[in-house]
Amino acid sequence: MEYLNELNESQREAVLYIAGPSLVIAGAGSGKTKVLTCKVAYLLSQGWSPHGILALTFTNKAAREMKTRIAALTTAEQASNLWMGTFHSIFSRILRREAKLINYPTDFTIYDSDDSRSLIKSIIKEMGLEESYRPGMVHGRISHAKNALITAQSYPQTPALMAHDDACKTPMVFEIYDRYQKRCTQAGAMDFDDLLLQTNILFRDHPDALDRYASRFNYILVDEYQDTNSAQYLIIKRLAQKHQRLCVVGDDAQSIYSFRGANIDNILQFRHQYPDCRIFKLERNYRSTQNIVNAANSLIAKNDNQIRKTIYSEKEKGARISLFAGYSDHEEAYIIASKIVELRMNRGDRYTYNDFAILYRTNAQSRVLEEALRKRNIPYRIYGGLSFYQRKEVKDVMAYLRLIVNPDDEEALKRVINYPARGIGEGTLGKILNAAHSAEVSAWQVIANPNSYGLSFNAGILKKIGSFHNFIASLIQRTDPIDEVAAAIVRESGIAAEFINDKSIENLSRKANIEELIKGIAEFVLQANEEQDSQPTLADFLAEAALYTEQDSDKADGERITLMTVHAAKGLEFRNVVVSGLEDDLFPSSMSQDNPRAIEEERRLFYVAITRAEENCIITYAKSRFRHGRTTTGRPSRFLFDLDPSFIDTVETEFAGAPKHANAIAAAVDVRQPPISKPAHDGEYGIVSPRDLSPGMAVMHERFGAGTVQEISLEGGSASAIIDFDTAGRKRLILKYAYLKIG
DNA sequence: TCTAGCTCTGTTTTT
DNA sequence: CAGAGCTAGA
């Protein structure tokens, strides 16, 4: 147990206390992972069985890393027997075992967000609501409800939700939710949120099942506790109720996932929910220099809602944070690229490209940065955007695999019934789906026997449907290794033929992706053979693939700088970090402008960004930026004014010859721009405030001409107006983009 | 039924 | 600017 000697006092106390519930407040860079891994190793050394330890992490990658580190402290066998993974992966495993109890098939499909979205979209269409209901928004509402443990049945009984929907003029959300849930059940599918909700339903309705797991998991550890939602909270509570051996680790200052239902109160209220808990605070930051820690502290001090703590660093003072302003987003990117080259040069071979990361608020910002990096021949890797399993060609093959495992999977069927084209078009598919929904059976059952469901297709169509059905049925019969099944699909479905007359680079890369998928399946088989000495099923593979994320891949391909969103950077560290796009309306996001809680979360996000840096932190913003198809002028972010100037270096706009100021904040104030929106006075086109509009008012639009305001809506943070234009008809315009003239 | 190309619209973060 | 949706023409 030498590892105990490497811990500081508070870390050691946190590791050694295993008698009851404990809360470890772990500041950024304070050795949180070390505490967790040492604690698990310590439990094992005290004779606890690895099978009885449940450790929940935020990402698969974090789980894997911890396993590796625990294996180094104990044995590989012990580490591999731990129940360690994300909430979603651990509980999908448990749900699969217990599926029968809650009337799901053992091999239920996991719908990803795209599947959910597409199902919701078709329900909206069926209900004739596409005018005013957007699938993404409805999905958000359903997801929010599920994370708050509100089922389709209880939704209409929840006044707060119904009132919100009424206010948003979307009173039918409850009905869409209900139909959505029925269709998921019909298809034998769970969405991401179901994995948590259904676990709670399982534990609620089957005390014997709960008891089995509660007594199996003798000790429960939860990482990133500040980002758990109500559904996760309740699962933990249920499992730990009896023995109360629970250790949660987190940092309220890094709670950044409320949009996904994360409830910061879980960590803030832990001491009240477990009154006899011990609290340990890890306040020494081992990651960053003093300047970086102090600057971050000065920022987060501006938040009201937090557990007070004093994070400090005993590393060198280090360089001050430097702040740069570009005249445009392109210049900002140019400055960033130059600073990276410069830092790397100055330090000779001390820094490699792997020591740099550029962080941003939104994925869309990466484009301009990439351009600038390419011009300088700086190699980069970019996280975010489409993950491997989200690419169209991969999803197509995956949909066939899903159908084999669960032919009732409607989203999968919709995807491939006519891909590659086999003459079963929209009309035919629509009839099949309608028949299925009115008979309350799956589309697959209709296809298996179209005549029994009152469908009168002509012989040609029947033949096409029949041959598709036979093809899938024949795949289901196959017993060869699953990677060979996948290869057969590509060959026999006609997907391979689609790629034969390829010339374009895109087509080649699609082909390569499909090959990689098959290779990946083969590797999965091999690994399972080696580790568990078992023959994995397609269902095993799909379950893992459904919960795979971009973060999980270890793209260690050579020396590259990293580009990612701040969210994606959570838990990571780099010697040099650039945080870009510090403009009001971008960071903090325009979505959170008038919501104090949301602003505090954005501030925590900025805090997370700064505290990723070990040695150098560079903050940049652009005075103008190309967004939404036009160039907009911005102001420096309000967060820049939160930073204590003594830790910040001069603003330099070196490439435009702007004066250099001694004081960064003063400089930032100097460049404060007039308000972004150009008010629509003096008979000119401009942005009109929703306050200045009312129904019946006559307005002019740049392109659509004269019109009359019908309705104004303030929902969802972006005010919009429905306007009847004399020639262009009825339009719904987002007021912060639309150039209008009153009168 | 399919595809190419046009028009229109709307932008956060993601297990 | 890019993705979705629509239309025309095959």
- The Cα–Cα gap between A300 and A673 comes to 25
Mean per-residue pLDDT over chain A, rounded: 86
Query: What's the Å distance between residue A710 CA and nucleotide B15 C1'?
Result: 40
| Contact assessment for residue A618 and residue A324, using Cβ atoms and an 8 Å cutoff | yes
List, for residues A71-128, the tens digit of each pLDDT value.
999 999 999 999 999 999 999 999 999 999 999 999 999 998 889 988 998 888 888 8
- The Cα–Cα gap between A596 and A298 comes to 18
- Candidates A37, A86, A254, A653; catalytic one: A254
A548 CB and strand B closer than 7 A: no
- The Cα–Cα gap between A250 and A281 comes to 10
pLDDT of residue A239: 96
Residue bearing the bigger pLDDT, A743 or A538: A538
Phi, psi angles (nearest 5°) of residue A623: -80, -20
**Greatest Cα pair distance in chain A:** 82
- Above pLDDT 70, what percent of chain A? 88
A108 CB and strand B closer than 7 A: no
Q: Which of residues 609-648 of A touch strand B (CB under 7 A)?
A: 627-629
Q: Which of A30-34, A213-217, A728-732 has the lowest mean pLDDT?
A: A728-732
Is A131 known to be catalytic? no
- The Cα–Cα gap between A546 and A439 comes to 29
Residue A605: nearest nucleotide (C-alpha to C1'): B13
What contacts A368, CB < 8 A, 6 or more positions away?
A: A329, A330, A332, A333, A626
Residue A125: nearest nucleotide (C-alpha to C1'): C5
CB atoms within 10 A of CB A597: 12
Q: What band does A728 get if pLDDT is binned at 50, 70 and 90?
A: low
- Candidates A224, A329, A614, A649; catalytic one: A224
β-pairing, A312-313 with A574-579?
unpaired
- The Cα–Cα gap between A56 and A453 comes to 47
pLDDT of residue A513: 85
Q: Which of residues 563-602 of A touch strand B (CB under 7 A)?
A: 565, 567-568, 589, 591-592
pLDDT of residue A733: 61
A144 CB and strand B closer than 7 A: no
CB atoms within 10 A of CB A439: 13
List, for residues A139-195, the tens digit of each pLDDT value.
999 999 999 999 999 999 999 999 988 888 888 999 999 999 999 999 999 999 999
Three-state DSSP class for residue A523: helix
pLDDT of residue A528: 83
List, for residues A543-563, the tens digit of each pLDDT value.
988 888 776 766 667 889 999
> Considering only CA atoms, which residue is closest to the C1' of nucleotide C1?
A629
CA distances from A275 to A232, A244, A278, A525, A735 (A): 20, 11, 9, 47, 50
Is A402 known to be catalytic? no
Residue A193: nearest nucleotide (C-alpha to C1'): B15
A275 CB and strand B closer than 7 A: no
Quick one: three-class SS letters along A394-435?
Answer: HHHHHHHHHHHHCCCCHHHHHHHCCCCCCCCCHHHHHHHHHH
| Contact assessment for residue A620 and residue A360, using Cβ atoms and an 8 Å cutoff | no
Is A612 known to be catalytic? yes
DSSP conformation letters of A355-379: GEEEEESSGGGHHHHHHHHHHTT--
Residue A271 has pLDDT above 70, yes or no: yes
Residue type (1 letter), A602:
E
Give the pTM: 0.85
Residue A552: nearest nucleotide (C-alpha to C1'): B15
Mean pLDDT of A238-250: 95
Residue whose tokens read 């590659």: A420
Residue A716 has pLDDT above 50, yes or no: no
Query: What's the Å distance between residue A461 CA and nucleotide B1 C1'?
Result: 12
**Both tokens assigned to A121:** 């979209």
- Strand C: which bases are under 7 Å from protein Cβ? 1-2, 5
Residue bearing the bigger pLDDT, A726 or A137: A137
CA A450 to chain centre: 40
Query: What's the Å distance between residue A499 CA and nucleotide C9 C1'?
Result: 26
pLDDT of residue A657: 35
Residue whose tokens read 């003093």: A290
Is A64 known to be catalytic? no
Mean pLDDT of A255-283: 93
Is A32 known to be catalytic? yes
- Above pLDDT 90, what percent of chain A? 56
Q: What band does A56 get if pLDDT is binned at 50, 70 and 90?
A: very high
Q: At what angle do helices A459-477 and A392-405 cross, to 10 degrees?
A: 80
CB atoms within 10 A of CB A346: 9
Residue whose tokens read 């602003």: A599
- Candidates A361, A431, A612, A741; catalytic one: A612
- The helix or strand, by DSSP H or E, that contains position A620, with its residue range, turns out to be strand A613-622
Nearest residue to A83 via CA among A113, A115, A52, A40 = A52
CA distances from A277 to A14, A40, A309 (A): 12, 19, 18
Query: What's the Å distance between residue A32 CA and nucleotide C1 C1'?
Result: 42
A701 CB and strand B closer than 7 A: no
A678 CB and strand B closer than 7 A: no
Q: At what angle do helices A135-147 and A173-186 cross, to 10 degrees?
A: 80
- Candidates A107, A165, A178, A223; catalytic one: A223
Cα-Cα-Cα-Cα torsion A721, A121, A58, A570, nearest 10 degrees, comes to: -40
- The Cα–Cα gap between A191 and A197 comes to 10
Q: What band does A594 get if pLDDT is binned at 50, 70 and 90?
A: confident
Residue whose tokens read 């006519």: A418
Residue bearing the bigger pLDDT, A650 or A455: A455
List, for residues A61-86, the tens digit of each pLDDT value.
899 999 999 999 999 999 999 999 99
Quick one: three-class SS letters along A196-250?
Answer: HHHHHHHHHHCHHHHHHHHHHCCEEEECCHHHCEHHHHHHHHHHHCCCCCEEEEE
